[in-house]
Amino acid sequence: MSNTLAILPRSLRIVLIFCLFLVSLLSIDSITRDFPMKAFLGHCMPHLIIIATTVIVGGILLWIIEEAIAIHIAPAIKTGLQALAHDVTVEVGKFPKSWESITQVMAGMVVHNPEVQQLASAGRIVEAAEKATSAQDEITVFIKSDDPAHWRKAAELLGDPTNLQPKAALTLAYRFWRSGDVNEAIRIAEMGLGAVQKEPDVRWKIQNSLAYYYTETADPKYEKASREYIAAARLSEPGRPEPIDTEGFVKITYGKTREEILEGVAIAEKARVLGAPFETYAKHIARAAARLKSFPAPNLQSVQ
């Protein structure tokens, strides 16, 4: 019996309980006709019957509403929520990818020889390089090292056209730039760009990096190439934060007017929102502040 009641809607269970209550009240009404408490119970009985009847009717109405919700409204809500979830997923998929860190770039460089990889992971770089069975593994081992002397050995190997791989050149250039050697970073990135036909998907990354390294020097001789390379990188990957950040840096550094410099600041802010590191953004803002000081102060006319 309890199992049968459990499968019924809650409103119907309430109705059944009050039906039993109403039947009991009617039974009591008939019983009281022959007992002394008839007057008292007879006075209360009509009110109790009205209450019980009201609850029964209300329970039936609730049951009707529950059925309507279950059959008509709930599926509509579910369908609407599913459509909303799909739309949100689509929109999120349009968001630009987050800033690619050096850790991610390094993870993409694989040493194919397991023994060499094990030695390199243990920090035994020289031994790993000696056991490398290919120039590419040897280059990768040297690039993964934290010793700039090993990076220079990788640069020497990359100088051989048969060994030159754009991705390796891109990563090595980044390592030199991070260490403060921007000139070597430029030299190696230019080597990588010259061989980019081997890996066309790396083209925009090298263009972006070269534009940034050129701009880092603030040398006027690099202005034309910086603007051309960052325009090409932005065209290839308009949603990536890296070229957006570099575009802002180029405009800040080579801007000819206050307006162009401030436009560069706005672009750098956009890149920060999309994932560019705050330290990079702060560096750009500092350069913008220094450049703006070189312009005459704007002539602000007082309002009478």
The tens digit of pLDDT for each residue in 234-279 reads 999 999 999 999 999 999 999 999 999 999 999 999 999 999 999 9
| pLDDT confidence of residue 217 | 97
Tell me, yes or no, whether 29 lies in a domain.
yes
| pLDDT confidence of residue 294 | 87
| pLDDT confidence of residue 86 | 54
| pLDDT confidence of residue 200 | 74
| pLDDT confidence of residue 92 | 38
Asked if residue 237 and residue 177 are part of one domain, the reply reads no
Residue 245 is encoded by which pair of tokens?
């950040």
Tell me, yes or no, whether 299 lies in a domain.
no
Residues of the chain with pLDDT under 50: 88-96, 302-304
pTM > 0.85? no
Tell me, yes or no, whether 167 lies in a domain.
yes
Domain count, the chain: 3
Asked if residue 218 and residue 267 are part of one domain, the reply reads yes
Asked if residue 139 and residue 68 are part of one domain, the reply reads no
Tell me, yes or no, whether 304 lies in a domain.
no
Asked if residue 76 and residue 41 are part of one domain, the reply reads yes
Tell me, yes or no, whether 278 lies in a domain.
yes
Boundary residue ending a domain (172, 198, 224): 198
Asked if residue 132 and residue 51 are part of one domain, the reply reads no
Asked if residue 89 and residue 132 are part of one domain, the reply reads no
Boundary residue ending a domain (43, 68, 94): 94
Tell me, yes or no, whether 300 lies in a domain.
no
Asked if residue 111 and residue 88 are part of one domain, the reply reads no
Asked if residue 108 and residue 86 are part of one domain, the reply reads no
Asked if residue 26 and residue 83 are part of one domain, the reply reads yes
Asked if residue 210 and residue 158 are part of one domain, the reply reads no
Determine the structural domain holding residue 214 and report its residue range.
200-293
Tell me, yes or no, whether 287 lies in a domain.
yes
Asked if residue 19 and residue 64 are part of one domain, the reply reads yes
Asked if residue 9 and residue 29 are part of one domain, the reply reads yes
Q: Per-residue pLDDT tens for 134-176?
A: 899 999 999 989 999 999 999 999 999 999 989 999 999 999 9
- Residue with tokens 């060499």, as numbered in its chain: 116
| pLDDT confidence of residue 94 | 39
Tell me, yes or no, whether 117 lies in a domain.
yes
Boundary residue ending a domain (60, 76, 94): 94
